[in-house]
Amino acid sequence: VGLITFRGADAELALPPTSSVDAAAVRLERLSTGGRTPLAAGLLKARDVLRVERLRDPSRRPLLVVVTDGRATEARRSGGATPVERAGRAARMLAGDGIASVVVDCESGPVRLGLAGALARELRGTPVTLDELRADSVTALVRDVRTVSTSRRAA
């Protein structure tokens, strides 16, 4: 379990990969939310962390879980790609690396844009909503995603 946060202007490795689920739970409890969302930076940081972990232990099968409303709301850089375009490019890079992923859509409110679902498609991952998250469904989801990921690599 590892944890990368992305808010404000950049992404940060809040918890390097560890086997301690308890450490992850403590970090999640302290997690701040709100503000701008540099989604591309978060995805690229995840890619870097996963690349290092694959070098450490090639037998590991990583699963990327992105909890987001899908909005890439960082400031636009002059003359460059939009935040949404940068996030899409980062997602396609992760998908190209064969990283299995789940996108937990935490969008709320009466107007829903479906951006988390679009991100899941770019990642070639599985979209789920907060309403769908229950212990039994998460366990089944992880098994399904790993099975699909393994068969993708074999093909």
Locate the domains of the chain by residue range: 3-154
Sequence-distant (6+) residues with CB within 8 A of 11 are 4, 5, 38, 41, 42, 44, 45, 46
Place of tokens 């996108």: 103
**Residue 31 · residue 15 · CB < 8 Å:** no
Pick the CATH number of 3-154 from 3.40.50.410, 3.40.50.620, 3.40.190.10, 3.40.50.2000: 3.40.50.410
pLDDT confidence tier of residue 50, bands split at 50, 70 and 90: very high
Dihedral Cα 35, 74, 37, 88, nearest 10 deg: 160
Work out the percent of the chain whose per-residue pLDDT is above 70.
81
**pLDDT tens column, 98-110:** 999 999 998 887 8
Range list of H helices, the chain: 21-29, 39-56, 83-96, 115-123, 135-154
Instruction: Specify which of 1-10, 20-29, 117-126 reaches the highest per-range mean pLDDT.
Output: 117-126
Query: Taking the model in full, what pTM does it have?
Result: 0.79
**Comparing C-alpha atoms, which of 2, 64, 10, 66 is closest to residue 37?**
10
Residue 146 has pLDDT above 80, yes or no: no
Q: What is the DSSP letter of 131?
A: G
